[in-house]
Amino acid sequence: GYATVDHHRAIRTGMPEVIFGKGKTTEQILGIAERLLERASNVLVTRTNEEVAGRMKALYPEAEYFPACGALRVWRDRTMHGKGPLAVISAGTTDMPVALEAVVTAEVMGNDVDQIHDVGVAGIHRLFGNLDRITKARVIVVCAGMEGALPSAVGGLVSCPVIAVPTSVGYGASFHGLAALLGMLNSCASNVSVVNIDNGFGGGYVASLINRL
Amino acid sequence: GYATVDHHRAIRTGMPEVIFGKGKTTEQILGIAERLLERASNVLVTRTNEEVAGRMKALYPEAEYFPACGALRVWRDRTMHGKGPLAVISAGTTDMPVALEAVVTAEVMGNDVDQIHDVGVAGIHRLFGNLDRITKARVIVVCAGMEGALPSAVGGLVSCPVIAVPTSVGYGASFHGLAALLGMLNSCASNVSVVNIDNGFGGGYVASLINRL
Amino acid sequence: GYATVDHHRAIRTGMPEVIFGKGKTTEQILGIAERLLERASNVLVTRTNEEVAGRMKALYPEAEYFPACGALRVWRDRTMHGKGPLAVISAGTTDMPVALEAVVTAEVMGNDVDQIHDVGVAGIHRLFGNLDRITKARVIVVCAGMEGALPSAVGGLVSCPVIAVPTSVGYGASFHGLAALLGMLNSCASNVSVVNIDNGFGGGYVASLINRL
Amino acid sequence: GYATVDHHRAIRTGMPEVIFGKGKTTEQILGIAERLLERASNVLVTRTNEEVAGRMKALYPEAEYFPACGALRVWRDRTMHGKGPLAVISAGTTDMPVALEAVVTAEVMGNDVDQIHDVGVAGIHRLFGNLDRITKARVIVVCAGMEGALPSAVGGLVSCPVIAVPTSVGYGASFHGLAALLGMLNSCASNVSVVNIDNGFGGGYVASLINRL
Amino acid sequence: GYATVDHHRAIRTGMPEVIFGKGKTTEQILGIAERLLERASNVLVTRTNEEVAGRMKALYPEAEYFPACGALRVWRDRTMHGKGPLAVISAGTTDMPVALEAVVTAEVMGNDVDQIHDVGVAGIHRLFGNLDRITKARVIVVCAGMEGALPSAVGGLVSCPVIAVPTSVGYGASFHGLAALLGMLNSCASNVSVVNIDNGFGGGYVASLINRL
Amino acid sequence: GYATVDHHRAIRTGMPEVIFGKGKTTEQILGIAERLLERASNVLVTRTNEEVAGRMKALYPEAEYFPACGALRVWRDRTMHGKGPLAVISAGTTDMPVALEAVVTAEVMGNDVDQIHDVGVAGIHRLFGNLDRITKARVIVVCAGMEGALPSAVGGLVSCPVIAVPTSVGYGASFHGLAALLGMLNSCASNVSVVNIDNGFGGGYVASLINRL
Amino acid sequence: GYATVDHHRAIRTGMPEVIFGKGKTTEQILGIAERLLERASNVLVTRTNEEVAGRMKALYPEAEYFPACGALRVWRDRTMHGKGPLAVISAGTTDMPVALEAVVTAEVMGNDVDQIHDVGVAGIHRLFGNLDRITKARVIVVCAGMEGALPSAVGGLVSCPVIAVPTSVGYGASFHGLAALLGMLNSCASNVSVVNIDNGFGGGYVASLINRL
Amino acid sequence: GYATVDHHRAIRTGMPEVIFGKGKTTEQILGIAERLLERASNVLVTRTNEEVAGRMKALYPEAEYFPACGALRVWRDRTMHGKGPLAVISAGTTDMPVALEAVVTAEVMGNDVDQIHDVGVAGIHRLFGNLDRITKARVIVVCAGMEGALPSAVGGLVSCPVIAVPTSVGYGASFHGLAALLGMLNSCASNVSVVNIDNGFGGGYVASLINRL
Ligand SMILES: Nc1ncnc2c1ncn2[C@@H]1O[C@H](COP(=O)(O)O)[C@@H](O)[C@H]1O
Ligand SMILES: Nc1ncnc2c1ncn2[C@@H]1O[C@H](COP(=O)(O)O)[C@@H](O)[C@H]1O
Ligand SMILES: Nc1ncnc2c1ncn2[C@@H]1O[C@H](COP(=O)(O)O)[C@@H](O)[C@H]1O
Ligand SMILES: Nc1ncnc2c1ncn2[C@@H]1O[C@H](COP(=O)(O)O)[C@@H](O)[C@H]1O
Ligand SMILES: [Mg+2]
Ligand SMILES: [Mg+2]
Ligand SMILES: [Mg+2]
Ligand SMILES: [Mg+2]
Ligand SMILES: [Mg+2]
Ligand SMILES: [Mg+2]
Ligand SMILES: [Mg+2]
Ligand SMILES: [Mg+2]
């Protein structure tokens, strides 16, 4: 067999089992998922495709597939673990796949997710129009590409932790998300920490852990 | 006048006022600090020097200066805000200045800080020797330079959030902390988020916010 | 002799003669300045030092030296060429030397300069507190380091051209201004164009040309 | 719905509404365009394709599609806003798609655009052969790939603002436009500012704003 | 003819002849292989494909093809040259193609290869579960992508030489293996040296040379 | 106390204890060294200075200091562990400090070291003039800056393992050793593996481990 | 029309007209070629394809197409301009397309070209086996990918000018030819100058100019 | 002894012996120079300093030192080897040290050097004012920093070989000469080849070799 499966963590913490789909064959993903689902209630597969989704749905009719971001979710135990609203904010329409990966992750980890999209820094009034929802959140995930300035703007408006997810949206000197990543790492807002480019999963995961505290 | 001072946030949240000392003159720092201390109980100055420290101590005898990292602290209101132990872990002796900046920050923000130093990945048994303290923490800051592998190792051992602080410790292909930064951003542990290179302040700050939740 | 002096442009356009001081010896700068000042009313020397300033003041008592940015100015013909207010905005206290170079340049080119400092993105309310002055400007220079997000925020509030000047302020993953530069080049505000890192001169110069139109 | 639409700016300023097509589905673009065209006279879609163009033309027969650069334009209100000629200059045949994006943008923003193509620095006599047209322009957009030297050469010949657009034309050490971008940022001509690689739209937009002043 | 074939080294040392398949046509590879196999017992082709494999198997039925990594092997002389166990360790399922290239190479060079897969740093207990096999090895090849921390962890547990092979597994700030490469070059374990990204062949080759000593 | 000292490895393997001096205070280095020398025969301090050397010599008269590379050695147990000659080769006069660090390391680890200097690729006849010594070596460390081509040339002449150490010697596009590092990682010689830029210690250490086998 | 054609240079110097095919449509290439061939004897098209080749051959039966590098040549005036042998040397089989572009260019510019292939640095004896031919050359073009060490080795053996052409051959840390480029720029041989990655045309062109002197 | 001295090349070709001074001690340079001057007529030391110059002049009164670039020359055999004028052109006053290194090198290699300074691209008329001298040259060295556009402009005006020397003059996004280097490598002029950043020596050397042909 291939991947050594470690059930204990999931059982212990009530967290979903997660399979990173990229670079794995359909058979590998299905094999791992089946073994996991013998014991785990919830399984999340990220970066997968229609073929895997079809095969999974045949086996587990409750499986949900999110084609915009390639996430696949078996969400059987829907216990809420988050202690308050977890917001996922995105800058532009094209950042939504990454934001969706964060949303799908945070939901399957037992959070009530509030989504706020298309509120980029160049139209800062749109951010202010959602100030109520933003300040209500206990923890916030912010997804932005291009110059990646949104986490700083959000971070300056709230006093809760902000997880910044740079996206590879952009072209030219965005260098596939590098500009956004560097911007976020240099955020002048002190409440910002950062995960990998396009890592909506990581953003949703870290925020979910924080929201359980 | 120079920097516009914003008291409201500090008063509202019980957080310290913070002055980023790098690039400011002694007079600028003293001027800002004096105005802040008229109303705020606690003030933290990062990246400052002996000269500023001497001048501040003359005015505020309770001021503490930490020469290893250049932090200066007026810590009058010592209310605890953290809801559990906050651990600061560092990989090598030379990462300690950055770790110290995190410790000083987390303390002045009202945390009980547990320090664990010199437990780099190449001597992984030293990490395991501290497993009890590590698993007890509610949130962890991990400072490491060179290959920056320690946050992944720590992250795999705990289920709490881990804030990774890459340090510029190293030479050659460490490229002033870039190697550690990239390593941490690509961490295979899902509970890791990252702040800027050498940003011990940011690590301590984000961890403190999380520990209040 | 060294540098070939070209008077014609200055005479034709009423623009100052400019000497880039960095890398030139005191004697070289003085020699060029003297020849220029035989015919030109106004001369600007950038990136120079106290020694040159002292020597110049001895020869031209009206010379002004700005130690914070190293600019030296002989401003004899004070005709206004700008057709409206030209704003220079900076994000943090440490960005002020670059902003000052822009101010000194725009003034010697005949502009009424409105300076707005310390209005970084993480305290976006400070930007809004100056909305009147900002929207009155005919053209705006915005100087910011770290994540360089301020030009996008400003750009989204106005419909005039914004010249963004990234500064090398920051540390770690700011990579000496690269983070700010990339952020500005990827600005989601369409009215933003960019000059070199720390090029306050360039920002002030381009804005002055625009303000003459 | 997806993108929050903001009519006010367009109505206020007489500027076109702009949709960045890259990364949006056909349905998304059509949906946004329809809502915009209920109130706005002019709409510009950049980085789109034949399919969107066909669908748009069926709905709005006056829509023009420019396959070389993927721009789509509904240009109903043809009021001139530019106060003089706006020149768009390109270095080589392969830079023309980017130059075309600038032209289409500047036209729909109400400018009389003078196009000068294939006048790269290695054949500098071709630039001089167009000196009359170049010096007549009130503002100039210069598109160039490879070493990106053309904006400096043009900038040295005129005293108006020059917006430099680096293109990704080239191979090897052009690093997808990085060489041209760096060249332009380091221009020894003081009247040059820069937008993102391949951002013909940004070049045309900034130049149009300047030309209204 | 194309490639100049040099038999002498192989004959002298008992090492296989190696053809780097990438960028060569099917005819080129077959031509070189045929000439080599007139005199050499063993030939290894790396980075090749099904078409070459089919053609080779028709000519040499004993040829083995490994589709996961594109290696093709004619292994006729199976003399053991390694003086002890050579371990190939990989971090994740998706690093296995690179690990397989190392295994195939080390085997054809006469080693008894012990494979240990899916023991990444975030699940460090899996590494410890294999401590016996790891400490028995005379030389170890470690393949890892993303943050590339596994070689340091392994290196700290053993006193034999460790050859680290960074893989291009990952996304975003992995920059196609750069993060893993830099991590490994900065390893705090002194027994680690590094080969090119995805160079499983190089890792297996260097380890095999060492294991003959 | 600072650094946790781990005697066991040294006692077990007969390897020296090593202290990386860079970034440690004189007191820290002396403190660690004293504790180590209570039980260990041999101690190596790298990247240290005259001051530490003087203090150490006062305590341990047998200590040797190598100012060209900053290494300090207490070498009491001179047992040979290497099973054959270990060669250290350098390309140019200015690469010698790095080569010396490798030599000092390999000696204190019990090797008979053969030094061959100033045999860079542009004078390839000098390499050939030493062919006898080169082919006699059981393992070779090659130190080179600038284009870093020497390890490939050496690697093509021998069938033993070659450890390549890129040096930061050079200027301009050497980018502080990056050019040499990349060259060595892309070596067309299969027997080459690489350590960090200027890491003479690492080169000597890995080679010494190999030479014990 | 598109490209402004400049006959004068070709007529004056007897050099071929050159069309860079990449990024141009078939119609554009044919149009330019036809106009050029009305007056010029020789035309070279680089980076083109079978379709253009077929169309050109239909019009100009003497046209030669080189599919390995995409060059197309109409070579009617075969006057020799080179004053001695011009050598084109390549390191590996996969560097041959770039070398071929250099050969095709040098031939159409009137040179007697001596081709020496597959003589990479790791098999330095193959280079020495061709020492006679190499030292006879009046000017040499050297094409190499991966570590790009061959120009230094060749440069050290001859006293004529060497034009180094880095190729994008390699993978991983070759970074699409960057490693080879940096290696060549840092060559320790003083007679080496460098052109762009994969620019076989540039190498052949510069060498041809030199060989006319 | 240190550096192995190789007289043969110099004697054979009439070229000077060259010592690269950077990173060598005064004693090392003097030692090498003395041995070389026993047999060689001409010696050039680059990147050295006043101290070495003083010591050399005491021993060889004919030694000339050029403090602007740190070159030191013993030029006893002044035979002309160049077959025509060799031009050295520089863009700005601050590029002159690099240009001077090229001049000193070309002179000691027996060339009649024509120097043309301060003719940067932004003042292209200054280049045209020297068209006569430029077109008379048999080979040209062009030194430029910042955007490095001058070699393209010169290359387009002449049909002789142009050696481009990027300089580290500039700041910010010049990245210590990288912008100029990339610009020159991507030159749209076909007669341009490039040496390392600030390598005036290399430019002068290659041009001298060409001028002997
Ligand atoms: N070491 C540090 N690194 C990054 N940000 C810091 C640091 N120290 C303070 N800051 C931030 O800088 C802000 C104060 O900046 P300033 O107004 O320039 O003094 C604080 O509110 C913090 O957010
Ligand atoms: N701080 C600056 N950054 C960039 N360019 C500058 C700066 N100051 C002056 N310049 C330019 O440098 C030119 C003068 O250069 P120079 O002849 O070397 O003194 C001026 O015409 C300006 O275009
Ligand atoms: N996957 C690989 N990566 C790097 N080098 C390789 C690889 N496979 C083979 N080689 C090297 O390529 C050489 C053969 O190259 P070639 O003559 O181009 O087939 C072998 O001797 C090996 O040194
Ligand atoms: N400024 C320079 N930049 C690059 N290479 C140089 C320079 N000066 C001298 N060299 C080269 O360095 C060699 C001498 O190196 P070395 O033996 O270390 O003194 C000469 O033969 C030149 O090829
Ligand atoms: Mg922060
Ligand atoms: Mg993570
Ligand atoms: Mg823009
Ligand atoms: Mg400029
Ligand atoms: Mg190591
Ligand atoms: Mg190798
Ligand atoms: Mg050279
Ligand atoms: Mg060229």
> Mean pLDDT of residues grouped by 10 in chain F (213 residues)?
42 76 94 95 97 98 97 97 97 95 98 95 86 96 95 94 97 97 96 98 98 96
Q: Write out the H or E segment, with its range, that includes residue G50.
A: helix G50-59
The distance in angstroms from the start CA to the end CA of chain F is 37
Count Cβ atoms within 10 A of the Cβ of residue H73 and give its class: 0-12 exposed, 13-18 middle, 19 or more buried.
Answer: buried
- A chain contacts of residue B191, beta-carbon cutoff 8 Å: 205-206, 209
Neighbours of chain C (3+ CB pairs under 8 A): A, B, D, H
Rounded Cα distance, E138 and B117, in Å: 32
Ligand number with the minimum distance to the CA of A174: 7
| Confidence bin at B3 (pLDDT 50/70/90) | very low
| Confidence bin at A101 (pLDDT 50/70/90) | very high
CB contact under 8 A, F185 and E193: no
* Share of residues in chain H with pLDDT > 90 (%): 88
Rounded Cα distance, G180 and G142, in Å: 12
Range list of β-strands (E), chain B? 17-20, 42-46, 64-66, 71-75, 86-90, 113-116, 139-144, 162-166, 192-194
Q: What are the helix (H) ranges across chain F?
A: 7-13, 26-39, 50-59, 96-108, 124-128, 131-136, 150-157, 178-185, 200-212
CA nearest to D28, candidates D47, D5, D7, D2: D2
Nearest CA in chain C to H146: C196
Q: Ligand 4 atom closest to Cα of G190? A: 23
Rounded Cα distance, C180 and C197, in Å: 8
Model confidence pLDDT, tens digit, residues D162-173: 999 999 999 999
- In the predicted model, what is the mean pLDDT of residues A21-39? 95
3-state DSSP assignment of residue A16: coil
- For residue G15, the model assigns a pLDDT of 84
Model confidence pLDDT, tens digit, residues C121-138: 877 888 989 999 999 999
Q: Do chains G and C touch (3 or more CB pairs under 8 A)?
A: no
> Between E123, E147, E189, which is nearest B122 by CB?
E189
3-state DSSP assignment of residue G190: coil
User: What's the A185 CA to ligand 5 centre distance in angstroms?
Assistant: 7
User: What's the E138 CA to ligand 10 centre distance in angstroms?
Assistant: 20
- A chain contacts of residue B190, beta-carbon cutoff 8 Å: 18, 201-202, 205-206
| Residue B45 clears pLDDT 80, i.e. is over it | yes
Rounded Cα distance, D46 and D66, in Å: 10
Task: Say what the pTM is.
Answer: 0.94
Rounded Cα distance, A181 and C183, in Å: 10
Contacts of range B124-132, beta carbons closer than 8 Å, 24 or more positions apart: B124/B153, B124/E124, B124/E153, B124/E156, B124/E157, B126/F4, B126/F6, B127/B153, B127/B154, B127/B157, B131/B157
- For residue D167, the model assigns a pLDDT of 98
Which DSSP symbol is given to A20? Answer: E
| Confidence bin at G13 (pLDDT 50/70/90) | low
Rounded Cα distance, E113 and E110, in Å: 9
User: What's the E149 CA to ligand 4 centre distance in angstroms?
Assistant: 39
Model confidence pLDDT, tens digit, residues H2-26: 344 444 444 445 689 999 999 999 9
CB F116 within 8 A of CB F65: no
- For residue D13, the model assigns a pLDDT of 59
- H chain contacts of residue C2, beta-carbon cutoff 8 Å: 93, 96, 117-118
How far is A3 from chain E, CA to nearest CA, in Å?
Answer: 6
Q: Which residue has the higher pLDDT, D123 or C109?
A: C109
E149 C-beta closer than 6 A to ligand 3: no
Interface probe, candidates H152, H193, H198, H210, chain G, greatest G C-beta count within 10 A: H193
CB contact under 8 A, C161 and D185: no
Rounded Cα distance, B88 and A95, in Å: 34
- For residue F122, the model assigns a pLDDT of 79
CB contact under 8 A, E181 and G171: no
Q: What residues form DSSP beta bridges with B115?
A: B88
- For residue F120, the model assigns a pLDDT of 86
CA nearest to F75, candidates F85, F66, F84: F66
Backbone angles phi, psi at B171, to 5 degrees: -160, 175
User: What's the D184 CA to ligand 8 centre distance in angstroms?
Assistant: 8
Mutation probe of ligand 2 site: the residue of C6, C19, C101, C196 with most atoms within 8 A of C-beta: C19
Rounded Cα distance, B92 and B95, in Å: 5
CA nearest to H202, candidates H44, H65, H11: H44
Rounded Cα distance, D98 and D90, in Å: 9
Q: What is the DSSP string of A83-134?
A: SS-EEEEESSGGGHHHHHHHHHHHHHTT--EEEE-S--GGGHHHHHTTHHHH
CB G145 within 8 A of CB G168: yes
How far is F41 from chain B, CA to nearest CA, in Å?
Answer: 21
Below-50 pLDDT ranges, chain H: 1-12
SS3 per residue for B123-146: HHHHHHCCHHHHHHCCEEEEEECC
Nearest CA in chain F to H167: F172
- In the predicted model, what is the mean pLDDT of residues B54-77? 97
- Chain mean pLDDT for chain D: 92
| Residue B42 clears pLDDT 60, i.e. is over it | yes
* Share of residues in chain B with pLDDT > 90 (%): 88
- For residue F121, the model assigns a pLDDT of 83
What is the CB neighbour count within 10 angstroms for residue E78?
A: 10
The distance in angstroms from the start CA to the end CA of chain B is 37
- In the predicted model, what is the mean pLDDT of residues G179-183? 98
* Share of residues in chain C with pLDDT > 70 (%): 93
Backbone angles phi, psi at D112, to 5 degrees: -90, 105
**ipTM of this predicted structure:** 0.94
- For residue A122, the model assigns a pLDDT of 79
Model confidence pLDDT, tens digit, residues H112-146: 999 999 998 878 888 989 999 999 999 999 999 99
E/G interface, count of CB pairs below 8 Å: 40
Rounded Cα distance, F148 and G1, in Å: 49
- For residue E13, the model assigns a pLDDT of 59
Interfacial residues of E (vs B; Cβ cutoff 8 Å): 91-92, 120-124, 146-149, 152-153, 155-157, 170, 172-175, 178-180, 182-190
| Ligand 2 surroundings by CB, under 6 angstroms | C 3, 18-20, 46-47, 199, 201-202; D 190; H 92-93
User: What's the F193 CA to ligand 3 centre distance in angstroms?
Assistant: 14
3-state DSSP assignment of residue F46: strand
Ligand number with the minimum distance to the CA of F186: 10
- E chain contacts of residue B156, beta-carbon cutoff 8 Å: 121-124
* Share of residues in chain G with pLDDT > 90 (%): 87
Q: Which residue has the tokens 């070291």?
A: F113
- Chain mean pLDDT for chain B: 93
| Ligand 1 surroundings by CB, under 6 angstroms | A 190; B 3, 18-20, 46-47, 199, 201-202; C 92-93
G25 C-beta closer than 6 A to ligand 3: no
Residues 6+ apart with CB under 8 A from C63: C53, C56, C57, C72, C73, C74
- For residue A60, the model assigns a pLDDT of 97
Q: Which two tokens stand for residue A93?
A: 């329409």
Q: Which two tokens stand for residue D121?
A: 């620095």
F/H interface, count of CB pairs below 8 Å: 40
CB contact under 8 A, A171 and D198: yes
| Confidence bin at E125 (pLDDT 50/70/90) | confident
